Amino acid sequence: MTTPAIEFREVTKVYRKRLRGVEVAALTNASFSIFPGEVCAFLGPNGAGKTTSISMLMGFFFADSGEISVLGYPPGDVRAKSEIGFLPENFAFYKYLNARRLLQFHYALSGRSTENEDRVISDLLSKVKLAEFEKLKIGKYSRGMVQRLGVAQALLHDPKLLVLDEPTSGLDPTGRKDVRDLISSLRAAGKTVFLSSHLLSEVEQVCDRVIIISKGRVVQSGRMEELLGAADRVEILATSVPEELAARISEWGGAITKHDSAVTIVVPLERKRELAELLWQSGQDVIHILPLRSSLEDLYMRTVGSEGEQA
Amino acid sequence: MKKIKTLATSTLENFLHNRLLLLVLILALCLLTLMLFPLLAAKSRTTGENQQAMASMVLELISQVMSFSSGLGTLLAAWGAADAFNTELKSGTVLAIMARPVKRWEFLLGKYLGVMLFMGCYVLVMLALSYGMASLAGVHIQASPLVLIFYPMVRYAIYAAIAMFFATLTNTIATMGAIFVIAMGIDFVTPRSPAWMPKLAWLKTTLYYVLPSTNLLTEDRFLSLRQASLKQATWQQHAISLAYGLDFALIVLLFAMWSFHYRTLRED
């Protein structure tokens, strides 16, 4: 049996403010596994426990109970850390350094031989499109540039596992697409990626597995295709809908959206053929028929409910 | 070893980019430069008759300069150690560092050695300044330069280690408060200090053994004409004093490493 790249078993973490006598459960009996080669999205509203979980995974925090294993080692073990690339939620840096010097600093800490250092750093700077700014002090970088530099430092030592906390935060649409493409290329290279994000549509495009957490509890976990399921509805774009047909669509639980010169009709999958025939018989033209499945956003909203609207 | 060296040099570099720290050092240098004026005035008024008295006065002045730089050094060592640690935590730079295959004790040792590198530069600058002032005034500092380098370095090593230990428990301001209390406490528990209430004599004895005897490690003992009648210490005596100080610093640093091993790297 394959050893999970990341495994949480009944992990609980409670924040205690001893002086005020306040206790806040950040994580309660959380269990999940991510296997090598998977790209897993870690989703949840703000304050759900995502960053706490990632911090425990990296060995920054300690769990009150339960067990965590990363690449077969306990969190914080240097053998595991030498194979992990990590991008914190807010990547912090020494502002007086430039990109190359910061990467040199992290390269030295990664314990790798200095033989290929310059080439590796140059390649990475080109990959994240910072090559022309490598001599500019990082303090003068925009938020997006800092985030791209953070991604570069996470990839610096060619890790097996990438832990990315909000990797697209602060990036413009082009930057987000670059990160998405990067994650796809990492998946193709067989890397394991664990990422937290609020951008559900982007996550849906690149992830194999989803874990949704709410109020410190894992409320949904599984492979993307299992959770989203097969298409259960169909979208038909037609030139118009006669009144009597609109009433029947309503009875089937369908929905009609009118546009300037067409209407979009969404009905259950089993009504697809019947509706298309009725439209043709009534003299309407069917422009396209598109099977619809639940989106990650639908799943997220169903799972987390109104609390998720903050996300 | 490479990781510790990288952390130490980056800590030194952080200090050299710390504007507040540089401002304090510039102010201290200005203050010391101001002290050149009475020194030069004393030199110009020296005659054959008052030569000995003037030399004594000049050495006393240089001794005060060195005491000032020594006190400032203690403050810098403690503040530097606490700040080097807490700034990393507060800014979040520690997260990207500790995500690397760096052990917690390596991180702390790297930071500590960075502080000591900075203090080494400070000691050398202050030593050069003191010798320069003495040379300008035409007098000779009697203590060996090695004494003036190693004694303050060991004292700074102790205060930096204590500050680092407290920094693993609390913030920089509280750490400096604790350092201040300890520095004051050391003076109150030496055998030469006034006797305490008989009921608290045991506390005084305990504190005397627990707190570092930084009075023993002050280079002032070897400095001025006033104290020139002190018996010159042999190298074994120097070695024992310095070994005691380094031993104390090492133990406190080990406590700091132990404390850091069990703390979170983010504010809860």
Instruction: For residue B59, tell me if it sits in a domain.
Output: yes
Instruction: For residue A305, tell me if it sits in a domain.
Output: no
Say whether both A81 and A97 belong to one domain.
yes
- Min Cα distance B220 → chain A (Å) is 38
Structural domain of residue A95, as residue ranges? 6-228
Q: How far, CA to CA in Å, does A228 sit from each of A176, A221, A225, A303, B251?
A: 23, 11, 5, 12, 58
Which of B13, B17, B101 has the CB atom closest to A78's CB atom?
B101
Instruction: For residue A307, tell me if it sits in a domain.
Output: no
Coil, strand, or helix at residue A278?
helix
Instruction: For residue A141, tell me if it sits in a domain.
Output: yes
B2 touches chain A (CB under 8 A): yes
Instruction: For residue B230, tell me if it sits in a domain.
Output: yes
Alpha carbon distance A275, A251 (integer Å): 12
Among A228, A252, A271, the domain-final residue is: A228
Say whether both A109 and A203 belong to one domain.
yes
Say whether both A129 and A241 belong to one domain.
no
Instruction: For residue B88, tell me if it sits in a domain.
Output: yes
- Cross-strand partners of A40: A194, A209
Instruction: For residue B202, tell me if it sits in a domain.
Output: yes
B238 touches chain A (CB under 8 A): no
* B74, B159 contact by CB (below 8 A): yes
pLDDT 10s per residue in chain A (311 long)?
678 889 999 999 888 877 777 888 888 898 999 999 899 999 888 888 888 899 999 999 888 999 999 999 999 899 999 999 998 888 888 888 898 999 999 999 988 777 888 888 998 898 888 888 888 888 888 888 888 888 889 988 889 999 998 888 777 888 788 888 888 888 888 889 999 888 887 788 888 888 989 888 888 888 877 777 666 778 888 888 888 888 888 888 888 888 888 899 888 888 888 888 888 888 888 888 887 777 777 778 877 875 544 44
Say whether both A47 and A174 belong to one domain.
yes
* A81, B100 contact by CB (below 8 A): yes
Instruction: For residue B268, tell me if it sits in a domain.
Output: no
B186 touches chain A (CB under 8 A): no
Structural domain of residue B131, as residue ranges? 2-261
Which of A79, A90, A111 has the CB atom closest to B3's CB atom?
A111
Q: What percent of chain B has pLDDT over 90?
A: 25
Q: How many domains does chain B have?
A: 1
Which of B3, B104, B264 has the CB atom closest to A62's CB atom?
B264
Q: Which residues of B touch A105 (CB under 8 A)?
A: 6, 10
Say whether both A32 and A59 belong to one domain.
yes
- Min Cα distance B6 → chain A (Å) is 7
Say whether both A85 and A188 belong to one domain.
yes
Q: What is the ipTM of this complex?
A: 0.80
Say whether both A118 and A245 belong to one domain.
no
pLDDT for residue A310: 44
Instruction: For residue A148, tell me if it sits in a domain.
Output: yes
Contact B6 A108 (CB under 8 A): yes
Alpha carbon distance A222, A35 (integer Å): 11
Contact B96 A86 (CB under 8 A): yes
CATH of the domain at A59: 3.40.50.300
Which of A17, A84, A108 has the CB atom closest to B99's CB atom?
A84
pLDDT for residue B227: 47
Say whether both A195 and A257 belong to one domain.
no
Say whether both A27 and A109 belong to one domain.
yes
B170 touches chain A (CB under 8 A): no
Contact B6 A15 (CB under 8 A): no
Q: How many CB atoms lie within 10 A of CB A79?
A: 12
Contact A94 B10 (CB under 8 A): yes
Q: How many domains does chain A have?
A: 2
